[in-house]
Homo-oligomer: A and B are copies of this chain.
Amino acid sequence: MSEDRRRAVLHAIVEGYVSTSEPVGSKALAETSHLGVSSATIRNDMAALEEEGLIAQPHTSAGRIPTDAGYRRFVDQVASAALHEPHKRAITTFLSDAVDLNDVVERSVRLLSQLTRQVAVVQYPSPRESAVRRVELVRIGVDRALVVVVSADARVEQGTVGLGHDVPEDEFETAARAINDVCVGRTPSELGPALAAWLQRNSHASWAAAVVDAVVAQAKGGTVERVVFAGTSNLARAANDFETDAIGPVLDALEEQVVLLRLLHEMAGEGRDVSVRIGMENGADAFARTSIVAAGYGSQGENVSLLGALGPTRMDYPGTMAAVRAVARYLSRIVETE
């Protein structure tokens, strides 16, 4: 019983099931697949694969379909395919027209959903450590202020902060000017100490401390982590084939974002080029029947954000991995040079 052939059988089963969405039987494999053995031999191999828990049969007289573990082994053994040349061109032309960070992210997520024909998710790039260009404080109503931080790398972060109680207009104005002066030219991590020192030098009312905190927060992280997604209709198309009722929880989880973000963080830690989570591996009930293919992107080795594709476990893994990797690469290049 050649180990190599058993692997080939597993691969053939995965590929067959992915393309036809029907269980694949031993006879069909013997005919279409090019391993030169008879169906009986394949049956023996299948029995062994089933013993290992890599494939299963939905009912007694049906062919085999891969289990999560089967997909897992397949993915680990297959290198992601090369991307077709026209697709490569599509990526460059589509993304190079972007004028804006928002635009880049939005175009990327659409492109990825079209390439993979899955739901695509792109996490907003984590901000780089770059000098503050200007801090603007604008009074809103009597007890709130708007904090705007413009960084040298073209990022604009904004947020509001409560002032607690009435603050005289002129006092607010002078403090705003002073805070701006302290911040300009400093990197976010230098900001904390510098502003603390300023607070000590000028004994201000308590509201100033809150404002300072808000400024530091905006400069550091800025907007809350978030992901954008596109191509949810691909989910509906996939759900048409089999489980219609699995789509609701997935849509909910996508909107919720929090589960998805946790998963992406976990996957970021794995360090691989492209990482894949299959079915139950996700740990989340909503994604129990979906797989996620993700890759990091970003300017440095550090400081990565993630993007990926999400679809039914029965997906074209090599193709999806190739598309995800390619988009991640181009996106890295763009984020770097911007």
Contacts and interface: CB of A to CB of B under 8 A. Distances in A.
Copies per assembly: 2
Interface in A144-201: 146, 148, 150, 152-154, 156, 158-160
A165 to B, nearest CB: 17
Contacts of A337: 141
Contact of A154 (B140, B233, B240): B140
Interface string A10-46: 0000000000000000000000000000000000000
A130 to B, nearest CB: 11
Contacts of A159: 100
A159 B98 CA distance: 12
Given A232-B232, A338-B141, A156 B146 contact: yes
A53 interface: no
Nearest to A231: B255
Contacts of A138: 133-134, 150, 152, 154
B232 A249 contact: no
A255 B236 contact: no
A187 to B, nearest CB: 16
Contacts of A122: none
A338 B251 contact: no
B160 A158 contact: no
Interface string A311-330: 00000000000000000000
B338 A140 contact: yes
Interface string A214-243: 000000000000000011110111011000
B150 A154 contact: no
Contacts of A248: 233, 236-237, 240
A245 interface: yes
B230 A251 contact: no
Given A233-B251, A236-B251, A240-B244, A146 B136 contact: no
A146 B154 contact: yes
Q: Which 4 A-B pairs have the closest CB atoms?
A: A236-B248, A233-B251, A233-B248, A140-B154
Interface string A244-282: 110111011001000000000000000000000000000
Contacts of A236: 236, 239, 244-245, 247-248, 251
A138 B155 CA distance: 10
Contacts of A249: 233
Contact of A244 (B100, B146, B239): B239
A205 interface: no
A255 B230 contact: yes
A99 interface: yes
Contacts of A156: 146, 148, 156, 158
A333 B111 CA distance: 40
A239 B233 CA distance: 13
6 contacts: A99-B160, A136-B136, A138-B154, A148-B150, A230-B255, A232-B251
A248 B99 CA distance: 30
Contacts of A141: 337-338
Contacts of A240: 244-245, 248
